[in-house]
Amino acid sequence: MAAGMSKDMETAVKALKANGFDVEPVETADAATGLALNMIPTEATVGVAGSTSVRQTELIARLKERGTKVIDVVAPSELSPIELMRQCLNSDVFLASSNAVTLDGKLVNIDGAGNRVAGMMFGPKKVILTVGANKIVRNVDEAIDRIRNVIAPYHCMTRGTKTPCAVDLRCSDCKSPARICNVTTIIERRPWYTEMAIILVGEDMGLGWHPDWPEKRREKIASVYSETRKGFSQAVKNFGAPQKKK
């Protein structure tokens, strides 16, 4: 166990291990970078979902520096984001995060296109999820509530997605073509044929908070998230966007 882990982090680690996941708790994002690098062979092809948590580490840059092939769905490319998503599903290693981790060791996620959750479950030989301690929740109900009423609305607002939740910051179960809550998955135990490692970081990473948390903590999570998103390429504006019907 990592030094200084919270009680919730300890509980989640034990539950995730009991559910068959390979879990490594670390204190910092820097430690997560080093750990993930050691898990990934230099010759591997690495697919990267549109994860802010992964981009809050130095992992992508370090992989490229050592010559590892990286398929990044939001990096500048001659290929469309959708084609890059498909290529990620055939990668040796897939990097992503999880919207929420429950105290009884489940991974809860909601996607617009479904590429991220598809890659988690089957396709890539190995999946590495980098998850901040702020993503830990009590149960599946709390996870879905937080995703729909905190993560999705703030993500849509930051990205400029034209959905009702981007305006009022609350889920309205919208019918918008730009809706990002289309696919909900609950991974209760490690999928049979996918090697999955979860790096649980004792820092706030990505997007997610409880409404009762101190305002300064919530503001910092939101600020770091928004700043990280600024570094995304133009491709992020098309990431997951619905295709026009012919």
For residues 148 and 131, what is the distance between their CA atoms, to the nearest angstrom?
A: 18
pLDDT in tens, 217-242: 999 999 999 999 886 655 555 554 45
Q: Which of 6-10, 73-77, 106-110, 197-201 has the lowest mean pLDDT?
A: 73-77
pLDDT of 243 higher than 60: no
pLDDT in tens, 110-138: 999 999 999 999 999 999 999 999 999 99
For residues 149 and 13, what is the distance between their CA atoms, to the nearest angstrom?
A: 26
| Structure confidence at residue 245 (pLDDT) | 47
The fraction of the chain above a pLDDT of 70, given in percent, is 92
* Mean pLDDT value across the chain: 92
The answer to whether the predicted template modeling score (pTM) of the entire model surpasses 0.85 is yes
DSSP 170: S
| Structure confidence at residue 238 (pLDDT) | 54
| Structure confidence at residue 246 (pLDDT) | 42
For residues 207 and 54, what is the distance between their CA atoms, to the nearest angstrom?
A: 12
Burial of 211 (0-12, 13-18, 19+ CB in 10 A): exposed
pLDDT in tens, 60-80: 999 999 999 999 998 888 998
pLDDT in tens, 147-174: 999 999 999 988 888 898 989 888 888 8
